[in-house]
Structure 1
Amino acid sequence: MPGGAPQTLRPFLSRAEQLYPETEIVSRTHEGVVRYDYGEYADRTAQLANALDEAGYGDGERLATFCWNHHRHFETYFGVSGMGAQLHTINPLLPDKHVQYIADDADDRLVFVDQSFLPKLEGAVDGDPDSFGSVDRYVVMGESVPETDLDAVAYESFVEGQPTSYDWPTVEEERPAGLCYTSGTTGQPKGVEYTQQMLWAHTMALQTPQALPLSDDDVAMPVVPMFHVNAWGLPFSATAGGAKHVYPGPQPEPADLARLIEEEGVTLTAGVPTVWLGLMEYVKEHDVDLSSLERLVVGGSAAPEAMIRFFDDRDVELVHAWGMTETAPVGSVAHVKADLRDADYETRLQKRTKQGLIVPGLEFRVVDDGGDPVPHDGESFGELLVRGPWVTTEYFARPDASEAEFTDGYLRTGDIVTVDEDGYLQIVDRAKDVIKSGGEWISSQELENELMAHDAVAEAAVIGVPHERWQERPLALVVPTDDADTDTLDETLRDYIGSEYPTWWVPDNVVVIDEVPKTATGKFDKKALREEYAEESLVEGRVPDDAAPE
C-alpha cells in the first residue's frame, strides 16, 4: 500500500496521546463536570475496546449510540472504530417510528444510551416488538442503571477492570467506521456509511486553512450534537490537532454554554443558528465574557446577517459553513478570499453570509433542470452537485434511493444555489422549499433571512401556499420579539420586504405564531408548516398583478 499504512482514524488519537497526554477533555454530564486528559482518555478507549471484545462484539458489527455530547460518547468514537467495528449514531430526537426503522435497518447489536434518553428508547423498543431484534445489550452511559425493562448495564461497570492497553488491529481503510441516517423529513431515513478513509480524508480537509483547522492552542466545544454527522467531524479534527475538548452535555441552555465558554476558555464552537440566537439573547441580558472565543461556526441553515454583525461587534468571527449527512458533512466554508480582505466591511460581510467556497478536495457543479451548467454570475439558479473522497456514492441498503440521487459520480444535493463571480456558493433554497410563482423562483430562505434582520422579528419561516393563478405564493410565519407591535406587524414587514425586493417577492400574508417548529436536527420544519398552513387564505387584494415577471 502506498505510504505503508492505511488512512484510518487511529493515528489521530495515538498522536494526541503521545504529544499532548496532559491536554484536557472536559465534559458536562448529569453527574456533574468531568475532566481528564488525552492520556487517560486513551486508556479508557482501550478499556472500552477490551470490554466489547469480551462481550463478543467484533469486526464489522454495528454498535449504536443514543446520546448527548459528553466524554463517554466521545470514547466510543475511537474505541469502537479503532477495533474495526462500526459506530452508528442514532438521533434520539427523531420520532419513535424513525428510531425503530433505523435500528432495524442497521441491524445494530448494542446500544449505548444516556439516562435521560432511556424512557425515549424504552418507548421505541416497546412500541414495535419487531424492531431492535438484533440488539442484545444496552449500555447506560453512567455509573448506575435506573429501573428499566431493558437488559442494561452501566457504562462504568462495563469497562471497569479492563486493561488500559489494547492490541489495536490494522484496519482496512475501506472498512465502515461510521453510520448516520438522514432525518427522513420526506420519507424513510436513509443511511450514510462512512469508511475509515472517508473520515480520515474529511478530518484532513477540516485541518486545512480554508476549512476549520484546530491546533494545540485551541479549545473546541461542539454544540452541534454528536449524533448529527459526528458533530460535524470536530471530535476527530480536535483530536488530530491536539486541541482541548469541551462537551456541553445534555440539553445545554444558553447559560450553560456561556459558562463553559468563560470557564474553559473556548476558542471555537459550532452549532445551528437557533443555538446562537439563544446565546445572543442571553448575552444581551447578562454580563458574559466572550474574550476567549475566536470562531463561532454556523451550519445546518443560513446564519442571518444580524447574527454575524452581533458577534463581529464582540470580536468573534462567525464562520458560515455548509454540508450534508452525505458529505460527512463539511462541504464549503465562507472564508474571505485573500484578494477581498482589503475590501470594505459590507463587501466582506456580503461574502460571509453565503455558504462559501468549496473546501479543498471536493469538486462541484451547478446545473439547471436539463442538466446544463449555469453561469457563475450570482443570479442564475441551479442544483448543486458535489463529489469527493468523503462524499458518499450510495445509500446504505437503498439502491432505489441511490439511483435517483447520484449522477456521473456526483451527489445531487437537492440544494438550489447560485455561484458568484468569486466562486462563493449561496443556497437559495432546498429544491422542495423553493417557491415557484408563475414559473419563476422565489427563495424562501432569502426572505427568512431578510425578515429576521428586522428588529421586530425573533424567528421567521416562509413557505409557498397554493394559488390558482400563480401556482404558489409566499406566506410568512413570524415569531415577534417581546416589544414588537403585533397589530401593525403585517404591514410593517410587507413594506420592509417591498423596499428591498420586487413586489412579486413580497409575502401575501404575514401570520404571527408562537414558535417555528423544528426538526430533530434543529432546522425549521417546513414540512410541518406546509401541512398546517396549506389552506391558509391569502389576504384579498394582496396578490399583485405582477406576481411573477412577464
Structure 2
Amino acid sequence: MTLHQFLWRAENVFGDQEIVSRTHEGIHRYTFADYGDRVRKLASVLDRRGYGEGDRIATFAWNNHWHHELYFGVPCQGAQLHMINILLPDSHVQHLVDDAEDAVLVVDPTMLDALEAAYDEAAFDSVELFVVMGDTVPETDLEPVTDYESFIADGDPDYEFPDVSEDQPAGMCYTSGTTGMPKGVEYTHKMYWGHTMGLLTGELGLTARDTAMTVVPMFHVSGWGRPFATLASGAKQVLPGPNPEPEDLARLVESEGVTQSAAVPTVWRGLLQYASEADPDLDSLEYVLSGGSATPKGLIERYREDLGIELVSGYGMTETTPITHLAETIPSNVDADGDERTATRAHAGLPLPGVQLKVVDEDGAEVPWDGESLGELLMKGPWVTTEYFNAPDKTERSITEDGWLKTGDIARVTENGYTDVVDRLDDLVKSGGEWISSVELENRLMGHEAVAEAAVIPVEHPTWDERPAAFVVVEDDATADDDLRETLRSFVAEEYPSWWVPDTIEFIPAVPKGATGKFSKIDLEDQYVDDELRARVREQAPGQR
C-alpha cells in the first residue's frame, strides 16, 4: 500500500489527463504523462544527492504543479515530505524546521519574503539547500539556493523508484498549535493509501469524469489528501495557485469545467458573495466540500437555492490524515429536500469506510447513538495516528492504550450514524454546571441574514462560572445597532433555551483567524475581552434580557 501504485495508474491509464496550475507566472498545463516524467526526474536527483529514508524535504508553498510533483516525487523516492503551513507566525515556522530537521526547503517565490523573515540560523541549521519554484532565483539572502527547474534539469525521466515499505513515513504536517507549539504528525504510505481509497468511495467519491479543484491549501494537512485522490482517480486537476481570490476561483471553474472542490467555509462565503455580484458561470460545479469548522446551515441553503450546488460538510484533524467524515446521503434521506436535506449536509458526517468511532462520557463510558447524548469523540482506523512526532507526553495524553485517538471534540451521534461535533472540549461554555455549545450558537447566529460571521467564547462569571459572549460581523447592508442585538437574541432564543442566549453581542469588523482559516478564539479574547466587557456580562443573569 504505497503511493507508487497511484502514480503508475495515472501515468499508464490516464496519461492524457490534464493538470492545470495557476502560478505567479500565469496558467500552466500539462498531462499526467508529463507529470510522471518530471516526478521521476525529481526523485532521481534526490537519490543522486544522497537523500532517502529518514530525510525530510520541506515545502513552503501554495497549490501549484511544482508542489504537486513533490507530493509524489519525495515519498516515492523514499524520503519524507514536510508541508510547512505558510501562515504560521515566524516562531512556529522556526520550531517546525528545527523539530523536523528538514534537509531541503522548497519555497514558492511568492512566499520568499515570508520565509526570509522567519529564517533563523540556529533553527534552520539542518537545511542544506533552498530551492525556489520556477526557473529563476529572485534576489535573496538565503543560501545555498537554486531554482527548481535547474534542480531537476539533469534528472532521469526513466528513473525506477526503490522498494519502499508501506509503513515508511511519506509525509508530515504539524497541528495548528492553539496551545503551545505545534506538534508533528507523520503519515506513512499506508495511511495515505487508506485515506485516498476512503475519498474514492460513496456519493462524493472522485472519478476520472471529474475535474477537481484543490482550493484547501496543500500546506494544510496534505491538502486534505486531495492531491493524492485526484491523481489516483484519474480526475483532471486544477490548482488555484498563490492566494486565490473568489474571482480567481470562479474563472477557473468557468474555464476548466470544475465539478468538485474543497475548502473552509470562509472561502465558500467569499465565492457566494462574488457570484451574487458578478454572476459567473458555475454550472459545472456539482459539489463543494466544506471543513475546518462547522458549516452554517444558511450557507448550505444559499448554495443549493441560489447556485444549484450541493455544499457538503466534512470533518477531520491533522491527526487523522485528515478526513474521517463526510455528510453524504443514505437511502433513508437521499430524496429529502429543504430543511431536512440541509440538516443532513450540515452534520460533520458519516464515518468513511475504515474509520471507527465512539463517544464517551467523563468516566470513559460509551454514550448511546441517540442524537442527544454528548461526550468526547474517540476514533481509530488505518489513517488515524497512534503517536506524535517528538512528543511522547502528548502521545500519552491523547492516545489510549488500545489505540483510540482522543480528539478533544465534544460530539453526539444520531441513530443512523451521523456525527455532530458540537464544540472543542476547551471551547464549551460551562454555565451553572451545564454545557453550552459555542459552535451551535455561532451557526445559529450566522443563519441570520444580517450576519456574515459570528464567534462565541466563554467569559468568566462569579455566579455561573462562565457565560457566552458573541462577536458578530454584520453583512455590508446591515446596521450594527441595539435593535439588531435584540433581533439576534430573539433569533437564538427561537431555537435554544433562554439561558443559552449570549449575555453580550459585540459588533466587530472581522473575526480573527488562525493559520488554517479557522476562527482564532485566543486572539478574539486577547483583542476584545476586557474589564468593561466582563462587567456587561456580570450585569446579566442567564435568561434575563
User: Smaller-chain TM-score range?
Assistant: over 0.9
Instruction: For residue 328 of structure 2, give the secondary structure of its aligned residue in structure 1.
Output: coil
Matched, 1:532 2:527: yes
User: Given the alignment of the two structures, is residue 492 of structure 1 paired with residue 487 of structure 2, yes or no?
Assistant: yes
Q: Could you tell me which residue of structure 2 aligns to residue 255 of structure 1?
A: 247
Shift of 1:271: 0.3
Looking at structure 2, the residues matched to 13 and 540 of structure 1 have their Cα atoms a distance apart, in angstroms, of 57
In 2: Cα distance, 1:60 partner to 1:537 partner = 51
For the pair 1:423 / 2:417, whether they are aligned, the reply is: yes
Per-residue CA deviation, residues 238-270 of structure 1 (Å, 9 max, x unaligned), is: 111101010000000000000000000001100
Which of these residues, 461, 470, 493, is aligned with residue 467 of structure 1? 461
SS of residue in 2 equivalent to 1:386: strand
Q: Which residue of 1 aligns with 2:82?
A: 88
List per-residue Cα deviations over 1:182-201 (Å, max 9, x = no partner). Answer: 01111111100001111111
User: Which of 357, 363, 368 is the matching residue for 1:364?
Assistant: 357
Cα distance between partner residues in 2 of 1:58 and 1:390: 23
**Counterpart of 1:276?**
268
Please state how far the C-alpha of 1:163 moved relative to its aligned partner: 2.1
Q: Residues 542, 340 of structure 1: CA spacing in aligned structure 2 closer, same or farther, 3 A cutoff?
A: farther
1:540 Cα deviation after fit: 6.8
* Distance across 1 between alignment mates of 2:370 and 2:48: 59
Aligned pairs for 1:326-405 within 5 A: 326-405=319-398
Q: Determine the structure 2 residue equivalent to 1:414.
A: 408
Structure 2 counterpart of 1:516: 511
CA contact (8 A) 2:501 2:542 kept: no
SS of the counterpart of 2:389? coil
Give the secondary structure class of the aligned counterpart of 1:143: coil
Shift of 1:545: 5.1
1:439 alignment partner, one of 433, 441, 451: 433
Task: Give the counterpart letter for 2:146 in structure 1.
Answer: V
Q: Provide the residue aligned with 1:3 in structure 2.
A: none
What corresponds to 1:4 in structure 2?
A: none
Aligned residue number for residue 299 of structure 2: 307
Q: Which residue of 2 aligns with 1:452?
A: 446
List gaps (5 residues or longer) in structure 2. none
1:513–1:540 CA distance, 2 compared to 1 (3 A)? closer
Conservation of the 8 A alpha-carbon contact between 1:45 and 1:79: yes
Quick check: 1:508–1:538 contact (8 Å CA) kept in 2? Answer: no
Pick aligned residue for 1:74 from 68, 76, 91: 68
Distance across 2 between alignment mates of 1:545 and 1:57: 61
Q: Secondary structure of 2:390's match?
A: coil
Deviation at 1:542, TM superposition (A): 5.9
Q: Residue 216 of structure 1 is aligned with which of 200, 208, 215?
A: 208
Looking at structure 1, the residues matched to 85 and 410 of structure 2 have their Cα atoms a distance apart, in angstroms, of 26
Go from structure 1 to structure 2 and tell me whether the alpha carbon gap of 1:540 and 1:78 turns closer, same or farther (over 3 Å shift).
Answer: closer
Q: In terms of mean alpha carbon deviation, does 437-446 or 533-542 score higher? A: 533-542
Provide the identity percentage: 55
Task: State whether residues 316 and 324 of structure 2, in contact with CA within 8 Å, keep that contact through their aligned partners in structure 1.
Answer: yes
Residue aligned with 2:269, SS: helix
Cα offset for 1:232? Answer: 0.6
CA–CA distance in structure 2, aligned partners of residues 68 and 98 of structure 1? 18
Decide whether aligned partners of structure 1 residues 396 and 541 sit closer, same or farther in structure 2, where only a CA change above 3 A counts.
closer
What residue is the counterpart of 2:541 in the other structure?
Answer: 544
Q: Are the counterparts in 2 of residues 448 and 460 from structure 1 also a CA contact under 8 Å? A: yes
Residues of 1 paired with 2:7 and 2:336: CA distance? Answer: 41
| TM-fit CA distance, 1:60 | 2.6
Contact 1:508 1:543 in 2 (8 A): yes
Distance across 1 between alignment mates of 2:328 and 2:82: 32
Q: For residues 511 and 123 of structure 1, what CA distance do their matches in structure 2 show?
A: 35
Distance 2:539 2:199 in 1: 48
Note if 1:129 corresponds to 2:121. yes
- Asked whether the 8 Å contact 1:509–1:538 carries over to 2, the reply is no
Normalised to the residue count of structure 2, the TM-score between the two structures is: 0.97
Q: Which residue of 1 aligns with 2:196?
A: 203
Deviation at 1:538, TM superposition (A): 4.7
Residues in 1 aligned to 2:449 and 2:115: alpha-carbon distance in whole angstroms: 41
Moved more, 32-41 or 334-343: 334-343
Q: Does 1:116 align with 2:110?
A: yes
Aligned to 1:192: 185
User: 1:222 & 1:368 partners in 2: Cα distance?
Assistant: 37
Q: Name the CA distance, whole Å, in 1 between partners of 2:248 and 2:22.
A: 9
1:14 matched residue in structure 2: 8
Letter in 2 for 1:30: H
Q: In angstroms, what is the RMSD of aligned CA positions?
A: 1.3
Aligned pair count?
A: 538
Which letter maps to 1:256? D
Residue number in structure 2 paired with 1:140: 132
Q: Deviations over 1:286-325 (max 9, x none)?
A: 1211111011000001111111111112221111110000
2:171 maps to 1:178: yes
TM-score, length of structure 1 as denominator length = 0.96
Distance 2:535 2:216 in 1: 37
Q: Aligned AA for 2:494?
A: S
Q: For residues 473 and 525 of structure 1, do their structure 2 counterparts lie closer, same or farther at Cα, with a shift above 3 Å needed?
A: same
- The residue matched to 1:537 in structure 2 has which SS? helix
C-alpha distance in 2, partners of 1:218/1:254? 21
Conserved in 2, the CA contact under 8 Å of 1:503 and 1:544? no
Matched residue type, 1:178:
G
Structure 1, 180-189 or 347-356: larger mean CA deviation: 347-356
Match of 2:29 among 35, 39, 52: 35
Equivalent in the alignment of 2:477: 483
Matched position secondary structure for 2:354:
coil
CA contact (8 A) 1:464 1:530 kept: no
* Contact 1:466-1:534 within 8 A present in 2 as well: no
Say whether the 8 Å CA contact 2:398–2:406 is kept in structure 1.
yes
Q: Given residue 522 of structure 1, which amino acid in structure 2 is its aligned partner?
A: G
Amino acid at match of 1:520: A
Q: Please say if residues 46 and 77 of structure 2, whose CA atoms lie closer than 8 Å, have aligned partners that are also in contact.
A: no
Q: Which runs of 5+ in 1 are unaligned?
A: 1-6
Counterpart CA distance in 2 for 1:425 and 1:398 is 29
Contact 2:295 2:313 in 1 (8 A): yes
CA distance in 1 between counterparts of 2:526 and 2:399 reads: 29
